[in-house]
Structure 1
Amino acid sequence: MVIELRVVGTAAAAALMTALAGCAEGTERAEAEEAQPTVLESAADKTAGRDVESSPEGGEDGPGDGAAEASDPTPVPASSEGPAQDWPAPEPPEEIYAPTEEGAEALLQYWFDARHYARITGETAPLEEVSHEDCEMCRAELELVRDVFANDGWYVSDSDVVKDIHVRLESSKIASGLFILKESKFEYYWNQEKQGISRHNKVGAYQFKFRYVGDQWRVIHSNNIEL
């Protein structure tokens, strides 16, 4: 847009220059105001209020981190009231993954710990993991536990203790030997009623055979020896 200006006389020219200067100053001020950066509310500013509200001192979300994280349940042992609840599974020892005498020896106690865990909880996965598919004794133990728990039953017992272990490697894949087992007294329930009790602290001599399959030892056979 072209504006034609005709300046007549010095006074008129001065007045016109003053007016133009004022217009220019106003334009610059308006442009400067438009160029100011917009201040956004930061994430910290947005969450500051919530942090205060959810703090332990009476916030809406209750106590601090402890409320957000569910506490671990307390293990309940097996009793006449029912099977064990939230009972920790036995940890397999690292030695059972090595094809050595030490690995075979470590499997013995772990297998009986896994059997005890299955009896009091009904969870048979740890026992299955270290039992060879050809182990008849293992299969009988697993089937018995499953039958008991399928009929509203369970076991109440302490862990068995393995001692005096003698191991011999027949090859890189087969181990055999002897051991003494001290079996703890146990009770078992069927249809939520007590059915029987074992002899207290039974001690017996046993022989065993293990096979190294894949990357770990597994029980393939074990039986009592009459002394």
Structure 2
Amino acid sequence: MYKPADAKGKAENVPVPVMPELAKENSKEGLEAFIRYWFQLLSYAYQTGDTTRVAGLSSPQCTLCGHLGGAVSKSYEDGSWVTGGILQTPVVDVRWDSSSNSQQAQVQLIQTEIHYFAADGTEHRELTAATNDAVAFFADFRNDAWMTLDTGIIR
């Protein structure tokens, strides 16, 4: 049974997001499904410390992807863990260009606040406040699959 992380310990039995079949299609709807899935994997990473799935769908050139993966991994070093960081994508607005394999979208990304706990259960750094941001998302369809090229907050 799923148990979210709390001040006493890490999340347990976190369900692994499953890629919907639609997210494998080279279409506007397929990209929308892929983007939602990618953020579900990032949310899973925040809950578990496991960044391998989201990294596998991210280009090595994606600077923010690498930064987020490193930050999540660091938050789980030496028995540490986090609570929160749950992501939701209520709006995904794909700007489809049928003449290109590279596509872009704007995403409303809501994230719950994050608390950071050391192995002994003490909060060891200032919390990260909840956010509700507009995010740019860039992806490419190559080798019959979507790959995240870059993402970042729109200012």
TM-score w.r.t. length of structure 2:
0.87
2: distance between equivalents of 1:196 and 1:93?
36
Establish whether residue 196 from structure 1 lines up as the match of residue 123 from structure 2: no
2:154 is matched with 225
2: distance between equivalents of 1:135 and 1:125?
15
Q: Which amino acid aligns with 1:173?
A: N
Query: Counting helix residues as a fraction of each chain, which structure ranks higher?
Result: 1
Gaps of 5+ in 1: 1-73
1:172 deviation in Å?
4.2
Q: Which amino acid aligns with 1:199?
A: A
2: distance between equivalents of 1:215 and 1:133?
18
Query: Counting strand residues as a fraction of each chain, which structure ranks higher?
Result: 2
1:152 is matched with 79
1:157 deviation in Å?
1.1
Q: Which has the larger radius of gyration?
A: 1
2:108 is matched with 180
SS at match of 1:90: coil
1:158 deviation in Å?
5.6
Establish whether residue 122 from structure 1 lines up as the match of residue 52 from structure 2: no
1: distance between equivalents of 2:115 and 2:35?
23
Gaps of 5+ in 2: none
Task: Note if contact 1:99-1:172 (Cα within 8 Å) is conserved in structure 2.
Answer: no
Q: Which amino acid aligns with 1:197?
A: L
Task: Note if contact 1:185-1:197 (Cα within 8 Å) is conserved in structure 2.
Answer: yes
Task: Note if contact 1:96-1:104 (Cα within 8 Å) is conserved in structure 2.
Answer: yes
1:59 is matched with none
Q: RMSD value over aligned CA atoms?
A: 1.8
1: distance between equivalents of 2:59 and 2:21?
18
| Matched-pair identity in % | 24
Alignment length (residue pairs): 152
Q: Which amino acid aligns with 1:111?
A: W
2: distance between equivalents of 1:143 and 1:213?
25
1: distance between equivalents of 2:127 and 2:118?
12
TM-score w.r.t. length of structure 1:
0.61
1: distance between equivalents of 2:50 and 2:65?
14
SS at match of 1:151: helix
1:191 deviation in Å?
4.2
SS at match of 1:78: coil
1:142 deviation in Å?
1.0
Q: How does 1:65-80 map to 2 (within 5 A)?
A: 74-80=1-7
2: distance between equivalents of 1:158 and 1:79?
12
Task: Note if contact 2:103-2:139 (Cα within 8 Å) is conserved in structure 1.
Answer: yes
